[in-house]
């Protein structure tokens, strides 16, 4: 009971840190410069990285406990930003020559203006990359309840005040929630290894302009060797990022409501855990078009 | 067992620190901010042949959000001239002049041609028949924007015959200024 009280208290402490109201962030400032047609290439890598992050970190092991379990976890996920996610071919304004140019995505470096090929004095520039990172992280606490007929349920929630590396002036208010479910198949079969199926549903919002939703599902196998457990499997993830804002782009000024598709992909995942009873340390990685990693600490019974 | 737990905690803290180290926001982060509302409409008085209708002034608050910190650089992207109303004559020697004051004006763009041709918006980037850009005016405009100074915009020109009722000339300037939020 004392342990349970400590877990709940820690969770309350984490979730009640408050921050003052924010002015317009860097992300909002850059998005509104683009029309709905032009914003996609700039922001798409962020959507891809977020979906890659949000679909992992739910799996501690390939099996679900048969007796009741309850734990609070801190999990951090991070997606590797590849070179192909840093630059994109952007359309210049209608009638501009050249009609396209290579410029920075949100993960790129400083942008350079492009000169009109036949009209001296006419030029156009995109925005600098906002994030200069090898990896794009996401983090959240999560609550895990197991022992429900071989099913484990994980609920995660985070807001701006709980993600210290997202500064007020760079990103609007963050709200993240997710739910993951893992169901043991090996409870029905006599198998030498643990087998389970899993799925998750995630939502992430930045202020009123970015609303990302993603889903994942997969199959996992694994086995425990005393303190140490390993698991592997496949995960399919995908999603949609909706952007709602008012554009100042002369080629498409006004209200913008656009959906960016994060193409569903299949990735291979591998994980390991060190189980010390009340404390468990776990790691997870998914390999595919985007490579993402998760690491977490679990406190619970 | 205690050593293993301690090791696990140290590893977790180290990973969190590493993630924070790997994540940096570009500084300075520069956005090419669309400069808004540098435009003017001249409502032609019927009977006019030569027009010098006076100038208007766009103050910085009209065209740039004061929350941005201006960095070096600005871009002129396009200028659009459009006429509204019906008129059988031509525009001769149409000019848009800009400057920091009425005493320091530079020609930004010259335009001429049949009035009806300008009923379709004529821009430097598209349908640019009859428009020509003046580099001295471009330099002046970009300097004013970069320095967030008031911009004076003036029209002038002539019609091939007396103007009729319901005529107007719209000028729109599309520019960007490099700025940090």
**Average pLDDT, stretch A138-152?**
91
Chain A: nearest CA to B46, how far in angstroms? 32
CB contact, 8 Å: B67 with chain A?
Answer: yes
Question: Binning pLDDT at 50, 70 and 90, where does residue A21 land?
Answer: very low
Strand partners, A11: none
Is B11 among the domain residues? no
How many structural domains is chain B composed of? 1
Reading the block at residue B45, the tokens are: 């008085």
Mutate to test the interface with A, among B17, B32, B98 (most CBs of A within 10 A): B32
Question: In this model, does residue A19 exceed pLDDT 50?
Answer: no
Place of tokens 């169901």: A183
* Chain A residue numbers touching B124 (CB-CB < 8 A): 119, 122
pLDDT at A12: 32
Is B10 among the domain residues? no
Mark out the alpha helices in B50-181 (DSSP H runs).
60-63, 135-146
pLDDT at A16: 29
Tell me how far apart the alpha carbons of residues A147 and B13 are, in angstroms, rounded to a whole number: 30
Please tell me which of the candidates A28, A95, A128 has its beta carbon nearest to residue B30: A128
Tell me how far apart the alpha carbons of residues A279 and A126 are, in angstroms, rounded to a whole number: 48
Question: In this model, does residue B179 exceed pLDDT 50?
Answer: yes
Please tell me which of the candidates B4, B23, B25 has its beta carbon nearest to residue A137: B23
- How confident is the model over B78-112, as pLDDT tens digits? 999 999 999 999 999 999 999 999 898 999 999 99
- Which structural domain, as residue segments, surrounds residue B79? 29-180
3-state DSSP call for residue A66? coil
pLDDT at B66: 83
pLDDT at A7: 36
Please tell me which of the candidates B1, B24, B75 has its beta carbon nearest to residue A113: B75
**Average pLDDT, stretch A201-228?**
93
pLDDT at B109: 95
pLDDT at A5: 39
Question: Binning pLDDT at 50, 70 and 90, where does residue A90 land?
Answer: very high
Question: Binning pLDDT at 50, 70 and 90, where does residue B1 land?
Answer: low
Give whole-number Cα distances, A104 to A53, A129, B21, B40, in Å: 22, 6, 22, 34
pLDDT above 90 covers a percentage of chain A that reads 66
CATH says A2-113+128-300 is which class? mainly beta
Are A101 and A49 in contact, with CB atoms under 8 Å apart? no
Is B18 among the domain residues? no
Question: In this model, does residue A22 exceed pLDDT 70?
Answer: no
Are A257 and A248 in contact, with CB atoms under 8 Å apart? no
Average pLDDT along chain A = 87
* Chain A residue numbers touching B174 (CB-CB < 8 A): 93, 250
Question: Binning pLDDT at 50, 70 and 90, where does residue A67 land?
Answer: confident
pLDDT at A63: 76
* Chain A residue numbers touching B15 (CB-CB < 8 A): 76, 295
Question: In this model, does residue A242 exceed pLDDT 90?
Answer: yes
B residues 116-135 near A, CB within 8 Å?
123-126, 133, 135
Question: Binning pLDDT at 50, 70 and 90, where does residue B14 land?
Answer: low
**Rg of chain A over CA atoms, in angstroms?**
22
CB contact, 8 Å: B153 with chain A?
Answer: no
Reading the block at residue A181, the tokens are: 């479910």
Using the beta-carbon criterion (under 8 Å), do A250 and B26 form an inter-chain contact?
Answer: no
Question: In this model, does residue A259 exceed pLDDT 90?
Answer: yes
pLDDT at A9: 37
pLDDT at B78: 94
**Average pLDDT, stretch A178-196?**
92
**Rg of chain B over CA atoms, in angstroms?**
25
Is B17 among the domain residues? no
Domain boundaries, chain A: 2-113+128-300
What is the CB neighbour count within 10 angstroms for residue B95?
Answer: 18
Question: Binning pLDDT at 50, 70 and 90, where does residue A25 land?
Answer: confident
Question: In this model, does residue A220 exceed pLDDT 90?
Answer: yes
Chain A: nearest CA to B152, how far in angstroms? 20
For residues A20 and A54, which has the higher predicted lDDT (pLDDT)? A54
């Amino acid at each position: 009971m004392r342990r349970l009280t400590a877990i709940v208290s820690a969770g309350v402490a984490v979730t009640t840190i408050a921050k003052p109201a924010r002015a317009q962030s860097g992300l909002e400032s850059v998005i509104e410069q683009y029309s709905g047609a032009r914003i996609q290439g700039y922001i798409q890598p962020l959507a891809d990285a977020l979906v890659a992050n949000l679909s992992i970190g739910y799996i501690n092991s390939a099996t679900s406990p048969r007796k009741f379990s309850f734990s609070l976890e801190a999990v951090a996920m991070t997606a590797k930003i590849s070179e192909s996610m840093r630059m994109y071919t952007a359309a210049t304004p209608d009638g501009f020559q050249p009609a396209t140019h290579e410029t920075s995505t949100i993960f790129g470096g400083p942008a350079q203006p492009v000169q009109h090929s036949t009209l001296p004095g006419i030029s156009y520039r995109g925005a600098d990359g906002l994030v200069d990172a090898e990896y794009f992280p996401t983090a959240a606490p999560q609550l895990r309840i197991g022992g429900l007929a071989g099913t484990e349920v994980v609920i995660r929630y985070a807001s701006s005040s709980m993600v210290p590396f997202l500064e007020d002036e760079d990103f609007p208010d963050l709200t993240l929630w997710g739910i993951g479910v893992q169901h043991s198949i090996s409870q029905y079969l006599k198998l030498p290894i643990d087998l389970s199926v899993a799925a998750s549903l995630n939502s992430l919002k930045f202020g009123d302009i970015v609303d990302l939703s993603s889903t994942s599902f997969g199959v996992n196998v694994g086995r425990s060797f005393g303190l140490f457990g390993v698991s592997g499997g496949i995960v399919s993830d995908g999603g949609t990022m909706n952007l709602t804002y008012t554009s100042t782009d002369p080629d498409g000024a006004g209200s913008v409501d656009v959906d960016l598709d994060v193409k569903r992909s299949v990735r291979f995942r591998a994980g390991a855990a060190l189980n010390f009873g009340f404390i468990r340390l776990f790691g997870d990685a998914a390999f595919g078009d985007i490579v993402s990693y998760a690491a977490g600490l679990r406190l619970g019974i | 067992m205690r050593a293993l737990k301690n090791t696990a905690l140290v590893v977790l803290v180290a990973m969190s620190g590493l993630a924070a180290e790997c994540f940096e926001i570009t500084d300075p982060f520069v956005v090419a901010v669309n400069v808004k509302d540098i435009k003017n409409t001249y409502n032609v008085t019927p009977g006019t042949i030569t027009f010098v209708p006076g100038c208007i002034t766009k103050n910085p608050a009209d065209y740039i959000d004061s929350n941005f910190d201006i960095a070096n650089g600005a871009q002129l992207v396009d200028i659009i001239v459009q006429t509204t109303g019906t008129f059988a004559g031509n525009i001769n020697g149409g000019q848009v002049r800009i400057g920091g004051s009425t005493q320091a004006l530079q020609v930004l763009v010259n335009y001429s041609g049949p009035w009806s041709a300008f009923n379709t918006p004529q821009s430097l980037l598209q349908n640019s028949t009859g428009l020509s850009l003046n580099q001295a005016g471009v330099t002046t405009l970009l300097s004013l924007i970069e320095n967030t100074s008031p911009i004076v915009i003036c029209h002038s020109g002539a019609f091939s015959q007396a103007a009729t009722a319901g005529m107007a000339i719209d000028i729109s300037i599309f520019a960007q200024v490099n700025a940090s939020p």
